[in-house]
Each structure stands twice: as structure tokens, then as C-alpha cells.
Structure 1
């Protein structure tokens, strides 16, 4: 697994109103021997937000159809009450199903949950340690899901958090992936399995270069006076590349 330590972050920058705009996406290129991506819906699986890499939202399963739909019964209901606060306007995530488990995110804390599809029991849960940038993120209520990929024959769950960290988790245990990412100098953070996505965005940015209020603090991320960056969408993994989408809070007062 040592090959997974090579992580290259490539911001994609956009021009807006004559100024350098905030990256609309980040490409996390991992140098691995990752297997070729499956269509996503083979054997009844649903490995992407839209089913497959093309987001066709189509499955070959035919056991449920118009003739028997009204005979379906609820087998189990999974509730997130014990995983943090919910809101009436909380956007519901789209679960994925891969290698025998269902994966989703829950509550405003965007905890990652693995569920046994046969029983509805929670197999594991992962929660990112709290930071100031998480608490002030405007996208805590809009987690839409996670991404799944097979890397060196091992299932990996990728999650972008409201604080704009990217985590890689072992799909069977929920533990942050070893020998991947870079240490984040914050209490309670794992020393592996995580990437702080903000520093690369600050490089060569005039507003940050003129910032004189101290060095970069991973607890705060982008200084509030300069703007914010977050994400509500799950990453997309295709051909060994993790694409991280970026969200903003519309504001005339922000610089980026």
C-alpha cells in the first residue's frame, strides 16, 4: 500500500469578473495500481451517486416491476437519531451499495455510515473531529453522499467534509486509510487517511499573499475575511482519479 502515499492535488481555477476565481474542482491524482472502474451497477450494485460512472441512474435488476410493486413491504428502517442533530430542511443523501454494504452520510455532522443491507444494522461509523471551519461551514446540512473505489483490491470510501477535508476510509472497517494523505496538525486528527484541501487553493492567491494576520491555521482554513470554501457533493472517482467538487457561499463581500 506504500504506493498510495503519492497524492497530487491539482486545483482547477476559473476566471470570474477579471479576477482569479476559486477552484471549481480539485483533482486528487493517486499513483496506484487501482483496478479499472466497473460500470457501477453490476450484480445489483450502485457504486456511484448516479449508479454508474456515467450517472445513468439505471439498473439491470428486474425483480421489482409494475406487477409486484404494490406488494412490497418495509423490511427495516435505519434512523440517524443517535448520530447528531437533524434539521427539517436537511437534504437527504443518496446511499451507494458496494461489496455487500450500504454507505451513506448522516445528520449535519456528515458522519459516514456503513449499513448491513440484510438487517439494517450499523456496521461502522466515522466522524471527523470538530474544527472551527466545520462549525462555520454553510454546507453542513447538505451532504449528498460518499464515493467508492477499489484500490489494490481493497474497497475505499472517499468523503469530502463540510470543513473541506478529503478522507479515505477502509470500506470494511471505517478506519482512515494507512499510508495515504498527509498529517494534519490538529488534535484528534488521524495522521493518515486525510488531505487538507485548502492550502493548495491559497497558493499564488494575491489576497492570501497580502494577508498579514498570521500563518495558515488548519483549524480555521480560509480566513473569514477572505471568504470560504466547502463542499456538499461527494467526490467522483474515475480511472484512478478522485475529483473533489467545491461549493461556495454567495456573497458580495467575499474575494474568492
Structure 2
């Protein structure tokens, strides 16, 4: 049936039929990908976060659908669809998603581990977190590659956050020592995957000869690439329905 999307009544009919289709595919045919779409529908169209969260959770637990694990983990982190946020539940579901090879889940699990916070239920473990971020980068998560590059650029000092580090101190003071060669490798991959900050870092590395042989031509090329990406991001309008929730 062809719908006239200029007609309010036909739009409502289309949306109603879409919900019926997703419910049938999920509950009767037990298709995990359709259950995830149903949860997206409940979230984006119905704005019923509580029901959406329940569907994401069940689809993760029962059908091992990684994207639903990611979404329920994000819901738990934000307290969406529930009375309060729960970092432990969020971490557990990011871990489930990562074990199902969902790159964004690995990114979120890794970031929770490398970040020092006041949540005792998620203990900081930089080494484990970086291993998980490496898995996310391997599975072509551009943000994970970028974060790893940044950690190797500055090093991770003991008992400090990555963002508060300096070059001062002995190598024994660091959990992860500065390594510009590794920083370059991760920045290159991140840039190739479309992370503009990785491209900007590459430009600086080539300009200074850090982690790679100095090359002003390539420095200029990567700077231009980063600026082009920035313009594209600023001008882009995206529709997130059916794409899953981006990590925060």
C-alpha cells in the first residue's frame, strides 16, 4: 500500500502499522533485529523509554543482540527509563555487548575503566580498559582509536586522569608510558576511519616529526582533511531512528 505522507491520517496509520509489524516480528517470529527496531520505535516514536528499555534488556539477555546490550547499557548509565542511573548495570551490559563484538559497547566499557570516577561499583583499571579499547579500534571504532592515540601521546601517570598529565616524572611514575610510535599508529587508523581529531593529531605529528618522520606536505594534507571533516560535521543533519544510540 502506498501512503500519502502529506496526509496526517495516513501518516498515523503508517506509524501504527509499523508498530504492529515490529511487535509481530519480535514477539511472534522472535527476530532479534526486529526486537531492536521495536525498542527503537518505542523510544523514538512513542517516547516510552521504560518500555523501550525493557525490550532492549530482554533482547540482549535472551537473544544476545549486541546493539541492544549497548542501548540498555546507555539507558542504565543515563538513568533513562528508570528512576536513577546505575553505573554497575551499565558496565555489565557494555561488557555483554563487547563480548558479542559490538564495537561501541567495547568503547563505552573501555572508557568506564580508564576514567577515574567516584563510582566504587566500577573500579578504574587502565590496563584492562586499554585492551578493550584496542578491541574496539580493531573492530573499526574510530573514537576508540582516537582515545588510544591520545593516551599514548601524553602517557598515563599513576593515580591521575589521562587529561591531567604532564611530561614530568620518571617512567616508573606512569601506568602507560608515552609512546609516539603507537600514538601515530592509532591516530592513523582513527583518521582513516573518519575521526577528524585523529587527523588533526596526525598533522601535528608529521609537522613535528613525532612518532613518524617529519613531513610538512603530509602535515598540511592531514590538516586540510581534518578541516574538511569539521565542515562536513557542521553541515550534516542525521536521522538516528533505527541506527541505535550513539555512545556518550
TM-score, normalized by length of structure 1?
0.25
Question: Greater helix share, 1 or 2?
Answer: 2
Which has the greater radius of gyration?
A: 2
Question: Greater strand share, 1 or 2?
Answer: 1
TM-score, normalized by length of structure 2?
0.25
